[in-house]
Every structure is written in C-alpha cells, then in structure tokens.
Amino acid sequence: MDIKILKEAALKFGTPIYLYDLKIIENQFKKLNKELSVLENYKIHFAAKSLSNISILKFISKLGAGLDAVSIEEVKIGLKCGFNKNEILYTPNGVSFEEIKEAFKLGVKINLDSIECIKDFINEFGSQSITVRINPGIYAGGNENVSVGHPESKFGIPETRINELLDMEIKGKIKITGLHIHTGSDITKNNQFKEGIKKIFSIARDFKNIKSIDLGGGIKIPYYDDDTSTNLNDYVKEVSNELNKFESEFNKKLKLIFEPGKFLVSDCGFFITKVNYIKSSNAKDFIQVDSGFNHLLRPTLYGSYHEIVNLSNPEGKKKEYDVVGYICEKDTFAYKRKISETKKGDLICFKNAGAYGFTMSSNYNSRSRPAEVCLLDNKLHKIRETETIDDLLSGQIDIFN
C-alpha cells in the first residue's frame, strides 16, 4: 500500500491503528478462486477467527465466500453480516453441548470433532446429517501452537475411533455427509498438505453418504521477501488427483471446501504505531512504540516475524533496533531489526497484520484496543472506534458504590 495512505490514516485517526486494504482481500480471493477453478464444485469459507470486524465480514460475504466459525458468537456475527445459514460451517472444539444445540437450532452446518459430543447430539436430535472433523495424525504447521492435526492434538476424531463413527452410521443413528481436516496454520511443506489430502480421501472411502470434503486452512503466505509459501498449484493438483481417483472409483461427485484465514486477509492489514521514545541502553537502541503485545500478540506468542517499516523515513540509512511495546513484561516485536533511522514521533508500521492481529488483541494493562480503518475505493473508512475508558469499565460491577 502507498505509504502516503498509511500516513494519512495515522494522521486522521490517530495511532495505534489497524488499517485494512479491501482491494487486497478481493485480489487474494480472486487469486485463490483462479487456482481452485480446476475443481468443479468447491466453496471458500473464510476463517472468521482471523479477522472478524463486521465490515470486513460483509465485504467477504459479498465476494461470495462462506464462513468457517468456531464459536456461537462467530456464528451469530456471521448471520448478522449476511452469510446464509447454509454457508456457515460451525466447527467447535470442546464447547458445551448447550452451545452446539444453539448453533443447530440456528440452522447452520454442524461439523463435530468428538465421538462424545456426537453421542449427545444423537440423543438430543436423533439421526441427522452432519459432517465430522478427523484428526489425521499429521504434524504440520509453522509452530507448535498452530499444529493441530497430530496424534497428541485435542482436535478431531482420531483414526483409532473412526470405527465407532462408522458403527453409529451403519446402525442408522447418524448420517456422515462430509469429512473435515485442518492440520495447522502456516504449513510450509507442501508434502504435509499432500499427506493430509491423501489421508482424508482414503478415510472417505469408508463413508457411504459422503458428499463433501473440507480441507481446512493453513495456506502459508510469505511474511518477508525470501519467506516460503505454499505452492498453490501443487496443492490444487494434489487435491484434484485425489478427487478424480475418488470420483471415478465411486462414481459420485464430491464438493470441496477450503477455509483460508491468513491467505485472504494477512497481507491486507497494516498496524501503524508511533514512536514514544528511542531508548539507548547497554549498547542497543530500543524503539518504544505506543502499543504492545496487547495489540499485536503474534511476535511475543509465536516469535512471528512481521516486516517493520518506518513510514516517516522509509529511505533512511538502516540501523539496528529492538522494537518494543509498553506492556510491563517482555514485550518485543522484533530483535536486532534493521530499520531506517528512527526518531521520536516517527510512524512505525507492522505489515501482514490483517490475520490474527486485532482478533487476538486484549485489554491487558487496562489498555484500550485500537481503532480499525479500511481502505475502499481509495477512501478511508473507520470501522471500529478506539476503546474509551468507559468501554473498559462497562460491564464491571462496583460493589462498593
């Protein structure tokens, strides 16, 4: 995005601020559709957890995507934003059965990930058509926190319990119309994707009522110039091969579902902060910005890399800094990062902040969460106010008043 616009947003709406370029989301959506177009019947379900502002969700709904929701709140927000109930796939993990009941009654598609809750579901609603999440037993994903398809993971029905599922189906207790896997986020190795694809198509052979296969998210996008990314062409080829084999062997057509989060919205997001101080200490210089891991958690939680640009001096001579926040514990966005020479008051921008940026923010240290702004047709629109002290206090009960 043009630096002028990033600076304009910071000037107009203040810092810190999240800015999303909707054109980038649209381009990513088109790019993915182009790659997937060799598959006849597919649907992209946007992973709401990655960026859930209602204006963004409405925009993505208008592009023609469905929604991947993991909580009843995401389901309700999705319905409010115009997603059709049969375009919302609800994939809970470890939630109360009350919540699953509520989602079913709202009419969205139910994708269950444990034999235990499928039993409750059958007791409550009798024989229904549902889809199920399988744990394929594969290690995949950029780091341990986001690798969720391996044998030790809490997600999905383990292969060792698929017999129980098939038994329930044979006895007419439930109809399994689709299988789902999501092995991890930031999947760097294409063979990990391949392994998952092969595994799920092979498991699908035993399910007589199967109509769809959902391959989850996990497409890796680059966070810096030489960073790796998923080879989409290879990925789609693998899906297409397995699909063709399956369809010709069983003489039936399957629908495929994809649930990208990062691929659609990571790149569109810019998190802009202002430098409070340059602090020199023990032979290093800290850039202290007016934010912290309460606003952008990924670097602290996962050691994730976000490219950092000094918008006020983009072409300046590079110097090495630690970029830190104001939270009262280790709060480092980047260590020993080469950034154009920076001074107090400069605007510092974190790139690739669209996915899991704002949605993972918090009020730690009683800090307000920042405003969100989007760029649509060359115009900036505020899509969330900065929280006020009243927002922070709302809902709290003062028993001494």
- Closest approach, Cβ 354 to ligand LLP, in A, equals 10
- Closest approach, Cβ 321 to ligand LLP, in A, equals 23
Residue 196 or residue 216: which is nearer to ligand LLP going by CB? Answer: 216
DSSP state letter for 219: B
Q: Residue 91, interface with ligand LLP (CB under 6 A)?
A: yes
340: enclosing H helix or E strand: strand 332-340
**Rounded CA separation 87/245 (Å):** 27
- Closest approach, Cβ 186 to ligand LLP, in A, equals 6
3-state DSSP: the chain helix, strand, coil percent, rounded to 5?
35, 25, 40
Residue 176 or residue 311: which is nearer to ligand LLP going by CB? Answer: 176
Residue 16 or residue 217: which is nearer to ligand LLP going by CB? Answer: 217
**Rounded CA separation 340/71 (Å):** 42
Tell me whether residue 259 is exposed, middle or buried, using C-beta atoms within 10 angstroms of its C-beta: 0 to 12, 13 to 18, 19 or more.
Answer: buried
- Count of positions on this chain that bind ligand LLP (CB under 6 A): 20
Q: Residue 259, interface with ligand LLP (CB under 6 A)?
A: yes
- Closest approach, Cβ 75 to ligand LLP, in A, equals 14
**Rounded CA separation 95/261 (Å):** 21
Cβ contact 365:341 at 8 Å: no
Q: Residue 262, interface with ligand LLP (CB under 6 A)?
A: yes
Q: Residue 325, interface with ligand LLP (CB under 6 A)?
A: no
Listed in sequence order, the DSSP H helices in 126-270 are: 162-170, 190-204, 232-250, 262-265
Contacts with ligand LLP in 26-55 (CB under 6 A)?
47, 50
Q: Residue type at 132? A: V
- Closest approach, Cβ 80 to ligand LLP, in A, equals 21
- Closest approach, Cβ 397 to ligand LLP, in A, equals 32
Residue 259 or residue 372: which is nearer to ligand LLP going by CB? Answer: 259
Using the contact rule CB under 6 A, the part of the chain among 96-104, 228-236, 260-268, 317-325 near ligand LLP is 260-268
Q: Residue 369, interface with ligand LLP (CB under 6 A)?
A: no
**Rounded CA separation 133/148 (Å):** 12
- By rule CB under 6 A, what string of x and - marks binding of each residue 57-86 to ligand LLP? -----------x------------------
- Strand-pairing partners, residue 227, are none
Select from 103, 140, 146, 373 the one that contacts ligand LLP (CB under 6 A): 146
Extended beta strands in 122-165, E state = 129-135, 157-158
**Residue keyed to tokens 């702004």:** 373
Q: Six-digit token pair at 222?
A: 């680059």
Residues marked as catalytic = 328
Residue 295 or residue 298: which is nearer to ligand LLP going by CB? Answer: 298
DSSP state letter for 89: E
Q: Residue 201, interface with ligand LLP (CB under 6 A)?
A: no
Q: Residue 185, interface with ligand LLP (CB under 6 A)?
A: yes
| ∠ CA 118-123-126, rounded to 5° | 90
Select from 298, 351, 367, 369 the one that contacts ligand LLP (CB under 6 A): 298
Residues that bind ligand LLP (CB under 6 A): 47, 50, 68, 91, 146, 182, 185, 216-219, 259-263, 298, 302, 355-356
